[in-house]
Each structure stands twice: as structure tokens, then as C-alpha cells.
């Protein structure tokens, strides 16, 4: 029987969870996000619905390839990223980049890293929540717009107004 793959964000969590789940599971970590808006430019289309252009983060290719190999031979893939909207977006990225057979995907939420908490979460898997993913994508896109458009304006027009005057520094 093929083992099941459990994907988490943190390598230290992976080790602890693996102890609780046992030999029928392989637990691996993404070490955080695997995709983001590239930093080279804004990567948000302001003219067409504020669509973000997300890409694999440089250096994450080997992690993705390794997870993809393990997932292809696993009976099930449990995505156990953090139980918040950011974790949900990471789970969605993992599903898109790592798991070819989407029927294998199970989203689990570990609210506590204890034997009981993990066993309970594994019994109550669900689908990835598209609304939470959309909320995180919107947040990330807004952060990028603010960073690229508002921050330079703010710095140019407001920060200089709050600098101490030369005469007050000399006293």
C-alpha cells in the first residue's frame, strides 16, 4: 500500500507530526511560501481587474520537484499548512504546483501539534477554501500596489515634512 504524503510549512513541525502519524505517512515541509509576486516589477495588472502574476519563488524549484515526485506515488496528499488565509493560499499553490491528481488532495488544519490534535485533524479533512485563498491573494495584491504606488508618494511628500530642522538639531 502506498503511503500518504502530508505537506506542512515548517521542517520542525514536519518532524514532530511524523512521529505522531507513523510509518504510513511521509511528512515534508515547503519551508513557507512557494509562489509570490516577483519583485522585479509590480506584477499587478491595474487595467484588468487587479490580476496578480504569481510565480514560483526562485530557489523553491527543488522543493517543488521533490514534493511532486513523492505526491505522484502517494495514495493521498494532505496539505496541512497553517490554519489561516495565508496558509490557505499556500495550500492552493501546493495543490497547483505539486499535485497532479487533484482527487488525492485533502486539506487538514492542525490547530494544535499534539497526538490528539493531529489525529482529529486527519479525520476531518476538507477541500481548500477558495474564499480564503481569494482573500489572501487580494491582500497580497493590495500590499504590492501600496508598496509600489503609495509608499514612494508618501515618502516624497510626507516624510520630509517631519524631519527636524537643522537649527533644532544643533541645540
pLDDT band at 169 (very low <50, low <70, confident <90, very high): very low
pLDDT per position as a tens digit, 68-125: 999 999 999 999 999 999 999 999 999 999 999 999 999 999 999 999 999 999 999 9
Domains in the chain, CATH or no CATH each: 4-160 (3.40.50.140)
Q: Residue 149 contacts by C-beta under 8 Å, 6 or more apart in sequence?
A: 42
Q: Considering Cα of 132, then 136, then 141, then 143, what sign does the dihedral take?
A: positive
pLDDT band at 147 (very low <50, low <70, confident <90, very high): confident
Q: 90-115: buried (b, 16+ CB within 10 Å) or exposed (e) per residue? A: bbbbbbebbbeeeebbbbbbbeeeee
Q: Which is more confidently placed, 40 or 130?
A: 130
78 phi and psi, to 5 degrees? -100, 120
Helix (H, G, I), strand (E, B) or coil at 29: strand
Amino acid at each position: 500500500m502506498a503511503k500518504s504524503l502530508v505537506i506542512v510549512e515548517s521542517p520542525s513541525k514536519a518532524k514532530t507530526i511524523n512521529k505522531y502519524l507513523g510509518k504510513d505517512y511521509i511528512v515534508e515541509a515547503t519551508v513557507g511560501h512557494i509562489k509570490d509576486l516577483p519583485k522585479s516589477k509590480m506584477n499587478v495588472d491595474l487595467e484588468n481587474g487587479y490580476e496578480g502574476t504569481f510565480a514560483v519563488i526562485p530557489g523553491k524549484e527543488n522543493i517543488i520537484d521533490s514534493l511532486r515526485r513523492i505526491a505522484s506515488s502517494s495514495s493521498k496528499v494532505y496539505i496541512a499548512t497553517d490554519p489561516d488565509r495565508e496558509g490557505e493560499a499556500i495550500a492552493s499553490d501546493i495543490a497547483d504546483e505539486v499535485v497532479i491528481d487533484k482527487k488525492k488532495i485533502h486539506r487538514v488544519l492542525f490547530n494544535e501539534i499534539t497526538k490528539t490534535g493531529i489525529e482529529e485533524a486527519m479525520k476531518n479533512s476538507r477541500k481548500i477554501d477558495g474564499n480564503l485563498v481569494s482573500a489572501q491573494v487580494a491582500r497580497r495584491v493590495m500590499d504590492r500596489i501600496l508598496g509600489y504606488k503609495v509608499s514612494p508618494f508618501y515618502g516624497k511628500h510626507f516624510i520630509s515634512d517631519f524631519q527636524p530642522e537643522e537649527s533644532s538639531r544643533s541645540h
